[in-house]
């Protein structure tokens, strides 16, 4: 695993842990994840968009959500959108893993 990949997945895990710790109700997870990912450097900076796309298996997450990409603003904006939806899905999957791990540890 490359340093960039490790850093990305550590960030995803860290964001998910923060969401679990911050939110009192699991119904709040998606909205909070949406906000956090939207402000992430992996989404804000074009160079980091590529890191998401290289690391994530969820580059089609926008399609799974039924999202039509806005294409009139050029390829960089398209990359940003794809990176956002991929990272959001990565964080949501990490949330599920963390919840499962914590439930197992409580048993």
Q: How far apart are CA 33 and CA 10, in angstroms?
A: 15
Q: How far apart are CA 90 and CA 107, in angstroms?
A: 26
**Backbone dihedral angles phi then psi of residue 58, each to the nearest 5 degrees:** -110, 35
**Structure tokens, 45:** 């900076």
Mean pLDDT, range 40-68, rounded to an integer: 88
How many CB atoms within 10 Å of residue 85? Answer: 24
The domain limits of the chain are 3-101
Q: For residue 69, is pLDDT > 80?
A: no
Q: For residue range 17-27, what is the model confidence (pLDDT) as tens digits?
A: 999 999 988 88
Q: For residue range 38-49, what is the model confidence (pLDDT) as tens digits?
A: 999 999 999 999
């Amino acid at each position: 695993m490359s340093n960039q990949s490790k850093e990305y997945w550590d960030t995803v895990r860290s964001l998910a842990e923060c969401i679990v710790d911050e939110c009192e109700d699991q119904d709040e997870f998606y909205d909070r994840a949406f906000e956090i990912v939207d402000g992430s450097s992996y989404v804000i900076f074009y160079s980091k968009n590529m890191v998401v796309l290289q690391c994530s298996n969820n580059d089609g997450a926008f399609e799974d959500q039924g999202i039509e990409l806005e294409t009139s603003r050029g390829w960089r904006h398209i990359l940003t959108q794809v990176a956002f939806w991929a990272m959001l899905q990565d964080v949501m999957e990490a949330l599920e893993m963390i919840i499962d791990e914590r439930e197992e540890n409580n048993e």
